[in-house]
């Protein structure tokens, strides 16, 4: 099964967990599902999050596949194979943490870990119909996670329900506290451009959940998306550009890396200015409503047969990447549109308010249960 690239049996008989192949497990190579890292040596020690899982009594039973070098949104991988989308066959599983989302959707693990640099937990969660959380930047340790240096990347969990997602956070983040009360929470609805069926499904869920709603535009979203792309391009080139010399990087990712190489210092400086401005914009919106809501993806996940051009598919991250730039925690909840295809509802909270984000998400789902 292409969603699992290494079967393992580590730890006790607690919750079963699978982790993305960018996260170090002692004694096993971290290859990021790239043939260019085929000969990587075994990791000398566990990543902090892996050690935390073991300390929490979890059982790690596999490493999961991903879009090569975590540099793509579809999850397509010509070297190890593309993870099947268990709930929506024929559709892409999303990237880059494709295998981690698919493993949970297939029931192969109680929860899984991915990483999210530009939507790489929330997009596959939306594509595969599961829950996925990008914590606040810096909240969960990235020690032992590839790439070593990132101003965007976050380790985050996938689960089939909110209770398990919260349990996962408690396992990987020792500071994750009690969930606060949410009775008086107002939700700010961010207007965006999305497929009519996706917008309709999101609007229906928000109306039905009973939280007071108000419209809160974020006019800096597009600029933040572009800035986030510039930052990830520069940082991924710095981390992985040397692998092109091997001649073994897949054609789609190699093309993106070559394009990323051209990110100028001026573009990066402009992106950092945008980061400051958009962060302030989101903080101001959250001062009015402690939770923001919008679709996770602007369209349904494409068919695998139509998704070969990684650069053409990058728009899948239009509504998620801005919150990597700003560092706010964001969570995707699974719904379906009129065509019975997957829709993600994305919730965003203030930095450090991961517990509130999870509490609101859990209560929202509870209120919508039949």
Cα–Cα distance, 294 to 191 (Å, whole number): 7
Task: Assess whether 332 carries a catalytic annotation.
Answer: no
User: CB of 316 within 8 A of CB of 80?
Assistant: no
Instruction: State the catalytic residue, choosing from 20, 63, 134, 351.
Output: 20
Cα–Cα distance, 43 to 242 (Å, whole number): 20
Cα–Cα distance, 367 to 365 (Å, whole number): 5
Helices (H) and strands (E) in the chain, counts: 10, 11
Cα–Cα distance, 271 to 225 (Å, whole number): 10
Task: Assess whether 97 carries a catalytic annotation.
Answer: no
Residue 346 CB burial class (10 angstroms; 0-12, 13-18, ≥19): buried
User: CB of 334 within 8 A of CB of 129?
Assistant: yes
What CA–CA distances, in Å, run from 118 to 96, 143, 178? 9, 19, 28
Instruction: State the catalytic residue, choosing from 16, 34, 96, 112.
Output: 96
Q: Which two tokens stand for residue 279?
A: 């962060």
At 79, which helix (H) or strand (E)? none
User: CB of 301 within 8 A of CB of 127?
Assistant: yes
Q: Which two tokens stand for residue 198?
A: 């996706």
Cα–Cα distance, 155 to 260 (Å, whole number): 23
Q: Which two tokens stand for residue 48?
A: 């902090």
Instruction: State the catalytic residue, choosing from 120, 150, 326, 332.
Output: 120
Cα–Cα distance, 194 to 320 (Å, whole number): 13
Cα–Cα distance, 100 to 336 (Å, whole number): 20
Partners of residue 291 on adjacent β-strands: 187, 349
Task: Assess whether 351 carries a catalytic annotation.
Answer: no
Cβ atoms within 10 Å, residue 27 = 12
Catalytic residues: 20, 96, 120
């Amino acid at each position: 099964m292409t969603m699992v690239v290494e079967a393992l049996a580590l730890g006790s008989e607690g919750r079963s967990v699978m982790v993305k192949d960018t996260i170090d497990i002692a004694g096993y190579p971290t290859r990021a599902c790239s043939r260019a890292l085929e000969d990587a040596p075994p990791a000398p020690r566990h990543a902090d999050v892996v050690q935390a899982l073991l300390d929490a009594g979890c059982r790690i039973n596999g490493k999961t596949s991903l879009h090569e070098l975590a540099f793509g949104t579809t999850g397509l991988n010509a070297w190890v194979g593309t993870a099947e989308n268990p709930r929506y066959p024929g559709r892409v599983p999303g990237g880059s943490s494709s295998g981690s989302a698919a493993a949970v959707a297939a029931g192969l693990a109680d929860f899984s870990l991915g990483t999210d640099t530009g939507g790489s937990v929330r997009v596959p969660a939306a594509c595969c119909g599961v829950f996925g959380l990008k914590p606040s930047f810096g909240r969960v340790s990235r020690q032992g996670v590839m790439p070593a240096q990132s101003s965007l990347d976050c380790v985050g969990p996938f689960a089939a329900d909110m209770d398990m997602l919260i349990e996962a956070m408690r396992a990987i983040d020792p500071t994750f506290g009690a969930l606060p009360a949410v009775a008086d929470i107002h939700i700010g609805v961010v207007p965006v451009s999305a497929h009519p069926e996706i917008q309709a499904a999101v609007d229906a869920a928000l109306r039905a959940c009973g939280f007071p709603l108000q419209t809160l535009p974020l006019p800096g979203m597009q600029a933040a998306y572009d800035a986030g792309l510039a930052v990830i391009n520069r940082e991924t080139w710095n981390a992985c550009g040397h692998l092109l010399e091997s001649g073994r990087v897949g054609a789609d990712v190699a093309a993106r890396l070559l394009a990323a190489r051209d990110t100028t210092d001026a573009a990066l400086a402009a992106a950092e200015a945008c980061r400051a401005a958009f962060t302030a914009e989101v903080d101001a919106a959250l001062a009015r409503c402690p939770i923001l809501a919008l679709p996770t993806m602007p369209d349904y996940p494409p068919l695998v047969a139509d998704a070969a051009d990684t650069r053409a598919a990058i728009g899948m991250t239009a509504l998620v990447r801005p919150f990597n730039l700003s560092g706010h925690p964001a969570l995707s909840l699974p719904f379906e549109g009129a065509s019975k295809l997957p829709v993600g509802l994305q919730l965003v909270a203030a930095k450090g308010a991961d517990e509130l984000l999870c509490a609101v998400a859990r209560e929202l789902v509870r209120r919508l249960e039949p």
